Amino acid sequence: MKKSTKAALLSGLIFPGIGHLALKSYLRGLGLMSLSLIAFAYVVNVAYQRATLIVDRMYSGDIALDTGAIAAAAADAGVGTDNLAEKFFLLVLAGCWVIGIVDSYRLGAAQDKQGHDL
Protein backbone atom coordinates (compact mmCIF):
# COMPACT_ATOMS: atom_id res chain seq x y z
CA MET A 1 0.00 0.00 0.00
CA LYS A 2 1.27 3.46 -0.87
CA LYS A 3 2.22 5.97 1.79
CA SER A 4 -0.41 8.40 0.61
CA THR A 5 -3.18 5.85 1.09
CA LYS A 6 -1.90 4.72 4.50
CA ALA A 7 -1.57 8.27 5.75
CA ALA A 8 -5.03 9.26 4.53
CA LEU A 9 -6.58 6.18 6.13
CA LEU A 10 -4.82 6.83 9.43
CA SER A 11 -6.01 10.43 9.49
CA GLY A 12 -9.50 9.53 8.37
CA LEU A 13 -10.19 6.44 10.44
CA ILE A 14 -8.18 7.03 13.61
CA PHE A 15 -7.74 10.77 14.29
CA PRO A 16 -6.65 13.87 12.36
CA GLY A 17 -2.87 14.24 12.39
CA ILE A 18 -1.98 10.57 12.84
CA GLY A 19 -1.23 10.27 9.13
CA HIS A 20 1.12 13.24 9.35
CA LEU A 21 2.98 11.61 12.23
CA ALA A 22 3.36 8.43 10.19
CA LEU A 23 4.87 10.53 7.40
CA LYS A 24 7.27 12.12 9.91
CA SER A 25 5.65 15.53 9.51
CA TYR A 26 5.55 16.02 13.26
CA LEU A 27 4.79 19.75 13.50
CA ARG A 28 1.78 19.55 11.19
CA GLY A 29 0.54 16.37 12.82
CA LEU A 30 0.79 17.65 16.38
CA GLY A 31 -0.78 20.97 15.43
CA LEU A 32 -3.71 19.26 13.74
CA MET A 33 -4.10 16.82 16.62
CA SER A 34 -4.03 19.62 19.19
CA LEU A 35 -6.70 21.64 17.42
CA SER A 36 -8.82 18.53 16.95
CA LEU A 37 -8.47 17.53 20.61
CA ILE A 38 -9.55 20.99 21.78
CA ALA A 39 -12.63 20.91 19.55
CA PHE A 40 -13.42 17.31 20.51
CA ALA A 41 -13.07 18.07 24.23
CA TYR A 42 -15.47 21.01 23.94
CA VAL A 43 -18.10 18.95 22.09
CA VAL A 44 -17.82 16.07 24.57
CA ASN A 45 -18.06 18.49 27.51
CA VAL A 46 -21.29 20.00 26.15
CA ALA A 47 -22.75 16.53 25.56
CA TYR A 48 -21.77 15.45 29.07
CA GLN A 49 -23.39 18.52 30.63
CA ARG A 50 -26.63 17.90 28.75
CA ALA A 51 -26.65 14.23 29.71
CA THR A 52 -26.05 15.13 33.36
CA LEU A 53 -29.02 17.51 33.31
CA ILE A 54 -31.24 14.80 31.86
CA VAL A 55 -30.10 12.27 34.48
CA ASP A 56 -30.74 14.81 37.25
CA ARG A 57 -34.25 15.40 35.90
CA MET A 58 -34.80 11.62 35.85
CA TYR A 59 -33.72 11.32 39.50
CA SER A 60 -35.99 14.16 40.53
CA GLY A 61 -38.96 12.58 38.74
CA ASP A 62 -39.39 15.28 36.08
CA ILE A 63 -38.74 12.70 33.35
CA ALA A 64 -40.35 9.28 33.35
CA LEU A 65 -38.06 6.29 33.15
CA ASP A 66 -39.10 5.15 29.68
CA THR A 67 -37.26 5.43 26.43
CA GLY A 68 -39.77 7.76 24.80
CA ALA A 69 -39.59 10.35 27.58
CA ILE A 70 -35.79 10.15 27.74
CA ALA A 71 -35.50 10.51 23.97
CA ALA A 72 -37.81 13.54 24.03
CA ALA A 73 -35.75 15.12 26.83
CA ALA A 74 -32.55 14.49 24.89
CA ALA A 75 -34.04 16.07 21.76
CA ASP A 76 -35.18 19.10 23.77
CA ALA A 77 -31.85 19.47 25.61
CA GLY A 78 -30.28 21.57 22.89
CA VAL A 79 -33.34 23.66 22.10
CA GLY A 80 -33.19 27.21 23.39
CA THR A 81 -29.47 27.22 24.10
CA ASP A 82 -26.82 29.20 22.32
CA ASN A 83 -25.46 26.65 19.89
CA LEU A 84 -23.07 29.00 18.07
CA ALA A 85 -19.95 27.87 19.96
CA GLU A 86 -21.01 24.24 19.70
CA LYS A 87 -21.52 24.53 15.94
CA PHE A 88 -18.19 26.32 15.59
CA PHE A 89 -16.28 23.57 17.39
CA LEU A 90 -18.10 20.86 15.42
CA LEU A 91 -17.10 22.62 12.19
CA VAL A 92 -13.51 22.94 13.43
CA LEU A 93 -13.43 19.22 14.21
CA ALA A 94 -14.92 18.28 10.84
CA GLY A 95 -12.55 20.67 9.07
CA CYS A 96 -9.54 19.20 10.86
CA TRP A 97 -10.63 15.74 9.78
CA VAL A 98 -10.95 16.76 6.13
CA ILE A 99 -7.70 18.72 6.19
CA GLY A 100 -5.94 15.79 7.88
CA ILE A 101 -7.07 13.36 5.19
CA VAL A 102 -6.36 15.61 2.21
CA ASP A 103 -3.05 17.01 3.45
CA SER A 104 -1.66 13.68 4.61
CA TYR A 105 -2.60 12.16 1.25
CA ARG A 106 -0.88 15.04 -0.54
CA LEU A 107 2.27 14.72 1.59
CA GLY A 108 2.27 10.94 1.19
CA ALA A 109 1.92 11.25 -2.58
CA ALA A 110 4.92 13.57 -2.67
CA GLN A 111 6.94 11.06 -0.62
CA ASP A 112 5.73 8.21 -2.86
CA LYS A 113 7.19 10.07 -5.84
CA GLN A 114 10.50 10.47 -4.03
CA GLY A 115 10.56 6.76 -3.08
CA HIS A 116 10.78 7.07 0.72
CA ASP A 117 9.61 4.15 2.83
CA LEU A 118 6.91 4.52 5.49
Give yes or no for residue 29 having a pLDDT over 90.
Answer: yes
Note the pTM of the prediction, 2 decimals: 0.80
Note the pLDDT of residue 47: 87
Distances, alpha carbon 76 to alpha carbons 36, 53, 73, 91, in Å:
27, 11, 5, 22
Q: How far apart are the first and last CA of the chain?
A: 10
What is the structure's pLDDT at 44? 94
C-alpha triplet 43, 94, 19: angle, nearest 5°: 110
Q: What is the pLDDT of residue 32?
A: 96
| Confidence class for position 81, pLDDT limits 50, 70, 90 | low
Instruction: Please state, as a whole number, how many other Cβ atoms lie within 10 Å of the Cβ of residue 54.
Output: 18
Per-residue pLDDT for 105 more than 70? yes
